[in-house]
Chains A and B, each alone.
Chain A
Amino acid sequence: MRNRASTSLSKGKIRQSWSKYNLYNLQRFRTPATANRTFFQQKWTAKATSRAYHGEQVREGQWKRMFSKRIRSVIPMNTTDLAADDGSKESAGRGSGLSESGGRNRSRPIPYTQMAFAPLERRLDVAIFRSLFASSTRQARQFVIHGAVTVNGQKMRHPSYLLNPGDLFQVDPDRVMYATGAPKTAFERRETRQLKQKSDDAEGEEAEAKPEATEKDVKENARDSLRALMSQAKTIMSTDKDVLPAKRKQELRGFQKAVRRVLSRSDTSTVLTDSLEAQFSELTLLLKAKRTEKKPAKESKKEAKEETTATATKSEETASGALSEAFQAAAEGGAVDTSELTDEEFDILKRALTQMRDNPIDHSKPYATPWRPRDYMSAFAFIPRYLEVNQNICAAVYLRHPVARPGSAEVPTPFGESISTPAYGWYLKRRW
């Protein structure tokens, strides 16, 4: 199917998409004027605008067959009210209930016509977009066609599959990260190309690079690398806005190297080749062991450090400066082991390690790494209640069909009732 769903500025149509063009169109959208226009014209415009958003990938005839004039709605019941009487009070008097002073439970009207396009929300591609797994319905559709989506564990290649209540659909997490993540910069793309070229002879090099340190070097190395590790972790965690992404990335890479160096000295040689999980647990184990060892001997230094930490609460930068100073003093003194870490430092290191494990730099990925959400994603981020989503595994369950309730409708639509009502009327068999 040809993609006619451009988000052009001149037409100003709103689409199911997270593009910034769409955001701008959404922002400048005004309800079409009704003065001096026939009812037919009003309905036509309303139908055209709302169809550009709701299922523009669905042919008009197909949608007309799907349309149902029956709209699902629910009323939240209060059990206390139900228990209070058997309904005879409501039917007393002249049949509309004895007039109650104040009107305690005047419920808000149910916006029925906002649900005009509810049948489209059952479609698999729309549901994927609504669960925030794709940045547009078109992209969701592509994921389905390319075989990245399963329904109840079976691959489903039809974007028009209508989900049944209780259906579980899952999208390949890599695709989701790609769809929702920031795109690569030119620099990162170059890195990717280089990575590809290098991939042939990379293995041989790595085998050579394994450090074979003598017994004597080990202690020196340990001190240096741990110090480097610490300072790098700190810069990574610093919240400085002026640091350019390239610089930050260099730091991250350096940190990664330092971690590898520390790990290479550990007793088990398999850790390096193991998964990141194993590396992480090994490193934390190493650090924890050192920390518990050192705790009783810490007394002398503690007072000095406490002062620095007290000031540290005010501003992060002075803290890191003071900490690094303390580190250096410790390193020069020689008597004090460098592996002595304060709680704060340990926390920082741990967080940096977690970040390394969960969100690593990986140029083989099709999105910018470390992953971050794409621009303007937050303006479109909401999950309707008829879906239950687990973002960790990129899976969601279609719980039930969307419903309207007093004061709100569950079908996400950018249009108010002045558009949805004439659009609903357009699709009725006996048109208004």
Chain B
Amino acid sequence: MYKVLPKTDLPKLIGRWMEQATVYAPVRQGDFTKFEPLSDPAQADLYYAANTRYPPKSLFLPQSEVMFRVKDGEFESTEDEVSSRVILGIHSCDTRALQLLDGVFLTGDYQDPYWAKKREQTTLVVLGCADPCETCFCTSVGSGPFDKRGADVMLIDIGDEYVADVRNEKGQALFGHLPDASRKQIDKSRQVQAAAAAGMKKPFETEGIKDKLYSLFDSDFWPKIQQSCLGCGACTFLCPTCYCFDIVDEAQRNERVRNWDTCMFRIYSQEASGHNPRPTNTERVRQRIMHKYAYFVELYDEIGCTGCGRCVRYCPVDLDIRQIIRSAQAWEES
């Protein structure tokens, strides 16, 4: 179902949502934007074309999340602390990432109640990317700037209006009262979508990447490409699909918390005995790349990277994952 919303009416609509739910949108902070709960609809900055610096995965898997508290010797749940939310202006890559992470947190033998609760309580109003950045590569990893998978509503910017592709009941609740889009507006939204995807470069081919990486497991490829890597966590912390965490008892706070962790850190795989199965940066870099482009493919039949480009833009040494995949594909053992 296609609805239409004049851009000038958006603040009013956000205000209406704010009566029922907490609304998150990109909010400008200095030189970049970050998803924040709005206190005023005017705070939402949807015209900032690039992805938010901090990934919106943090709204589902916060960097530090209290799992429970102990108060006066008694267990205290934190589960009810999430209420109804709308996330406005999330891009397709980040939405796709949430879908991929559903595979991790909601399928198989383990269901993560913290993730599940937040997913249930959230409506995703996705803003398609009419103008993808130079560092974006969503079309190379099986997605695109207007990928609708995972969206409750997809907004398409056609100039003075948004065409809203309302995908389900959750979306209907937010947009159902608006007028239907005209044939002409829908056609225009299709043109915008096609043009955006067509304008994107394709930095690498993913065909056969899983098997190629498996074949390189013990290769000299990894010692070579890891040389410039500093072993910081910028790429993984900004990554919308990296989900590793570490559970810590913060005794002074009487809290059990889980914090983002990263395979790029030495202590991530350090065992209590002192032994480390990934003793050097070579094994750690290999892990990061293979998790996304081989192990994840094996487990979920999807590439565990959505092409948002954050790791490309913010790597302190410009160690570019696009270049790594391209080099891996081209690598021949000597």
Do A and B share a complex? Answer: no
Interface, chain B (partner A; CB < 8 A): none
A interface residue numbers (CB < 8 A to B): none
